[in-house]
Amino acid sequence: MSSFSNFAISFSIICILSGGINSLAQATSGAGGAAIGIGWPLGCLISGVFALSMAQISSAYPTAGGLYHWGSILGNRFTGWLTAWLNLLGLITVLGAINVGTWGFFSGSIAPWFGIAVDTTTSAGFANQIIFVAIITGLQALINHFGIRLTAKLTDMSGYLIFAAAIALTIVCLIGVKSWDISRIWTFTNYSGTPEGDASVWPKMDNIWYVFALGLLLPIYTITGYDASAHTSEETVKASSSVPRGMVSSVWWSSLFGYIMLLAFLLAIPDMNEASKQGWNVFFWTINSITNPVVANILYVAIFISQLLCGLATVTSASRMIYAFSRDGGLPFSKSLASVSPRFRTPSIAIWTAAILSVLFVWGASLVTIAGSSAYTIVVSCTVIFLFLSFTVPIVLGIKAIGTAKWPKMGPWNMGIGTYKLVSVLVVIAMAVIFIIGVQPPNEWALYITIGFLVLTAIIWFAFEKRRFQGPPIGDMIAKRQGDIAAAERAVGEV
């Protein structure tokens, strides 16, 4: 993978045309225009501090294990193992969440062309959702199976497509503006609950600042997944400089283009009060109101393809995490999961394992209801918590380790020890914010699930893994592994 490809895979997973569009209702049916105008840059800043700290570590340790290896090197076997499980759980469930979001976009845009049942409260609509998710996840896994070069070409294309589609959507929205009400950008309005808004998004809440804080999930959910640059380190040229650049630049450009696009969309909304009542349908309602059907349909197709490629890049990231963890014996059936296809040079079993687990998650969680809410929406909230916790563990360990024997040498991407420690303190504060807003109603069960998972993790570690799991290799073991990789590459003519 080239340096651009490494950037593109993170940029594709972030995909402002996926989370930025599919989660719009959290703002328009929440705190109104200010949830976008003020909330988007604030939420991007919260996510961005993680990327800065991770970039510093990735430059010194550019390995396929990424976060898992960092947690082990900067801490110990347990912190590495914990990081791996948090990250792996987050990646598998976020893959399911992305592809369910793609189904939601498909059902509101393209499905009506073919008369496909999309109401998931009916048996036909529910079955169609699961079948759709299974098909596109299988397609994403198949492309990954065929090799990193094919995947890299498609994620490169995805990077350009996201830029182009975001610009086109911005132009369409600006052309469709009926009244240039700039004040929307900083206007707070409480649209939570009914009759002011759609109660399926947020229940009625009296405190506008509380509603605004919940709306931060829009940018925070969107601006994540940039750890993909680290997961593909061993497949990237000049990884020690390409990987940190890929992380930081993917967050920067996604934040900037996403903000411009969403501001244009905000200004184009015909009526904020009516928009709040649309709930999750607000994007289609707005676009269909401001432009002709042909232009709208072209936009829908471009956005749909971008969302498919977002899932493709997530399969890449999740499979590399499974591969790296299994290579060190951290998962059941590790020997098989750590195998590499001799023909395609990809961790094929890890790829299909990631795909199958994500589909099973979508199917199982969609069948379960907890306290009147879908288990799926609650687990997605946990997904964000688990992912950012997996980012936080090695970052916090790095505060103590940087400049010591555990981390004696900085990579070519170096912001300085003092700056790293300052940014890492901001990470701890940001993690607290994410956790607090992630477990609020209607997702309060996310708190119990998160605590339960952490307790279960501790039991498994002390009962089984503490004696068995050795962690990533060090010293002579690393040299042997590098020799094995070089030999495998020579066997297929890659060196």
Q: Each residue of 123-149: pLDDT tens digit?
A: 888 899 899 999 999 999 999 998 778
> What distance in Å separates the CA atoms of residue 78 and residue 124, rounded to the nearest whole number?
45
**Structure confidence at residue 373 as a pLDDT band (50, 70, 90):** low
**Judging by DSSP bridges, how do beta strands 369-370 and 373-374 pair with one another?**
antiparallel
| Backbone phi and psi for residue 472, each to the nearest 5 degrees, phi listed first | -65, 155
pLDDT tens for each residue of 413-433 = 999 999 999 999 999 999 999
Q: Summarize the confidence of residues 287-304 as an average pLDDT.
A: 93
Token pair of 38 as six digits: 């003020």
Any bridge partners for residue 321, and if so which?
none
> What distance in Å separates the CA atoms of residue 366 and residue 97, rounded to the nearest whole number?
11
Q: Which residue has the higher pLDDT, 281 or 201?
A: 281
Of 294, 329, 364, 338, give the one whose Cα is nearest residue 100. 364
Amino acid at position 36, single letter: I
Of 139, 10, 484, 95, give the one whose Cα is nearest residue 322. 95
Quote the pLDDT of residue 89.
Answer: 86
- The answer to whether 299 touches 309, Cβ cutoff 8 Å, is no
Quote the pLDDT of residue 370.
Answer: 61
Token pair of 114 as six digits: 């073919």
Q: Which residue has the higher pLDDT, 487 or 183?
A: 183
Quote the pLDDT of residue 421.
Answer: 94
**Rounded to whole angstroms, what are the CA distances from 380 to 89, 229, 377, 491?**
11, 22, 5, 42
Q: HSE, CB side, 13 Å, CA atoms: give it for residue 38.
A: 14
Quote the pLDDT of residue 463.
Answer: 85
- The answer to whether 382 touches 450, Cβ cutoff 8 Å, is yes
Judged against a pLDDT cut of 50, whether residue 310 lies above it is answered with yes
State pTM to two decimals.
Answer: 0.85
Give percent above pLDDT 70 in the chain: 91
> What distance in Å separates the CA atoms of residue 102 and residue 306, rounded to the nearest whole number?
9
> What distance in Å separates the CA atoms of residue 134 and residue 363, rounded to the nearest whole number?
9
Rounded (to 5) percent helix, strand, coil in the chain: 75, 0, 25
Judged against a pLDDT cut of 80, whether residue 224 lies above it is answered with yes
> What distance in Å separates the CA atoms of residue 65 and residue 71, rounded to the nearest whole number?
10
pLDDT tens for each residue of 161-197 = 999 999 999 999 999 988 888 999 999 998 887 554 4
- The answer to whether 129 touches 105, Cβ cutoff 8 Å, is no
> What distance in Å separates the CA atoms of residue 233 and residue 240, rounded to the nearest whole number?
8
> What distance in Å separates the CA atoms of residue 220 and residue 215, rounded to the nearest whole number?
9
Please state the separation of Cα 89 from the chain's center in Å.
12
Alpha-carbon Rg of the chain, whole angstroms?
Answer: 22
Quote the pLDDT of residue 394.
Answer: 93
Judged against a pLDDT cut of 50, whether residue 397 lies above it is answered with yes
Quote the pLDDT of residue 55.
Answer: 92
Lowest mean pLDDT among 78-87, 365-374, 393-402: 365-374
Mean pLDDT, rounded, of the chain: 85
Judged against a pLDDT cut of 90, whether residue 3 lies above it is answered with no
Quote the pLDDT of residue 423.
Answer: 93
CA dihedral 135, 140, 145, 151 (to 10 degrees): 160
**Structure confidence at residue 225 as a pLDDT band (50, 70, 90):** confident
Judged against a pLDDT cut of 60, whether residue 492 lies above it is answered with no
Residue 151: count of CB within 10 angstroms of its CB: 26
Quote the pLDDT of residue 197.
Answer: 45
Lowest mean pLDDT among 72-86, 171-185, 196-210, 281-295: 196-210
- The answer to whether 275 touches 33, Cβ cutoff 8 Å, is no
**DSSP letter string over 357-402?**
HHHHHHHHHHH-EETTEEHHHHHHHHHHHHHHHHHHHHHHHHHHHB
Could you check whether the bond before residue 195 is cis, i.e. omega within 30 degrees of 0?
A: yes
